[in-house]
């Protein structure tokens, strides 16, 4: 004999299905909200990567100084020249200084 007669168990089975479907709907809603947030953030990152600039709400207040330049402002400073390569020296000389066979990079 079952714990509950089958005519009374139908209500509990239906309630279990309703709870299960409710949990699935809640999960889908949470994942949709998360996906929307991720897509919004990716859009903002893509616009920043393309040089879209920074919105006023994204800026952080800093004290104004001549050294602070925005990334979009042209720089007046020439880029530093690459250091000249060192002449290839004696292998023993490099090993003696702890540099090994490979030059310092």
Q: What are the C-alpha distances in Å from 60 to residues 34, 55, 101? A: 26, 10, 48
Residue-wise pLDDT for 49-91, tens only, equals 988 665 555 555 555 555 555 555 555 555 566 666 665 655 5
CA gap 52, 63 in Å, rounded: 24
Q: Is the pLDDT of residue 97 over 60?
A: no
Number of domains composing the chain: 1
Assess if residue 36 is contained within a domain: yes
Assessment of whether the complete model's pTM goes beyond 0.75: no
Assess if residue 48 is contained within a domain: yes
What is the model's pLDDT at position 48?
92
Assess if residue 46 is contained within a domain: yes
CA gap 20, 86 in Å, rounded: 71
Residue 55 phi/psi, 5-degree rounding, is -75, 160
Assess if residue 44 is contained within a domain: yes
What is the model's pLDDT at position 69?
55
Residue-wise pLDDT for 4-13, tens only, equals 777 788 889 9
C-alpha 85: how far from chain center: 37
Residue with tokens 């239906």: 14
Assess if residue 101 is contained within a domain: no
Assess if residue 18 is contained within a domain: no
The arithmetic mean of pLDDT across residues 94-100, rounded, is 54
Assess if residue 103 is contained within a domain: no
pLDDT class of 43 with cuts at 50, 70, 90: very high
Range of the domain at 42: 25-52
Q: Is the pLDDT of residue 92 over 60?
A: no
Assess if residue 90 is contained within a domain: no
CA gap 65, 74 in Å, rounded: 16
């Amino acid at each position: 004999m079952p714990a509950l007669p089958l005519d009374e168990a139908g209500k509990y089975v239906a309630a279990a299905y309703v709870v299960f479907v409710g949990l699935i709907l809640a999960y889908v809603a949470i994942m949709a909200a998360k996906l929307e947030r991720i897509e919004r953030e990716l859009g903002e990152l893509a616009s920043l990567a393309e040089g879209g600039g920074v919105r006023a709400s994204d800026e952080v207040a800093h004290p104004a100084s001549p050294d602070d330049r925005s990334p979009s402002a042209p720089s007046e400073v020439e880029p530093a020249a690459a250091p000249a390569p060192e002449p290839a020296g004696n292998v023993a000389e490099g090993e003696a200084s702890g540099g090994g066979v490979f030059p310092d990079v």
